């Protein structure tokens, strides 16, 4: 059993527990990434970066509110965390 499968099974089993926790987590991570994007990126590109961060957060929240299947929600959560973390790391490196 892979980490993805094990994580998905746990997510599906405890969906009502993970929904509020994941909303808080991805919103906090996304807002920190947005703060670093606005603080450190070049003026020409920060709107594109910010648009991607906000779009992924909105897609995840929309999937939750639309009550999509748990697999779609879980995949969007993973994608959102990867995008937010990537932009956070990129803009933290620019800070140094």
What residues does each domain of the chain span? Answer: 12-95
Whether the CB-CB separation of 91 and 36 falls below 8 Å is answered with yes
CA distances (Å), 63 to each of 3, 6, 17, 67, in order? 23, 21, 16, 6
Task: Give the pLDDT confidence score for residue 48 in this predicted structure.
Answer: 86
**CA 34/CA 49 separation, integer angstroms:** 8
Mean pLDDT confidence for 14-37:
93
Q: Nearest Cα to 90, choosing from 37, 20, 29, 14?
A: 37
Long-range contacts of 16-22 (CB under 8 A, 24+ apart): 19/64, 22/60, 22/77
Note if the pTM is more than 0.85.
Answer: yes
pLDDT tens readout for residues 43-81: 766 788 889 999 999 999 999 999 999 999 999 999 999
């Amino acid at each position: 059993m892979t980490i993805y499968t094990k994580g998905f099974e746990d997510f599906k089993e405890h969906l009502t527990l993970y929904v509020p926790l994941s909303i808080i987590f991805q919103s906090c991570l996304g807002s920190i990434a947005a703060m670093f994007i606005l603080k450190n990126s070049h003026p020409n590109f920060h709107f594109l970066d910010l648009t991607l961060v906000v779009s992924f957060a909105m897609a995840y929240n929309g999937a939750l509110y639309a009550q999509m299947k748990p697999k779609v929600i879980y995949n969007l959560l993973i994608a959102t965390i990867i995008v937010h973390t990537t932009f956070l790391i990129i803009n933290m490196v620019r800070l140094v």
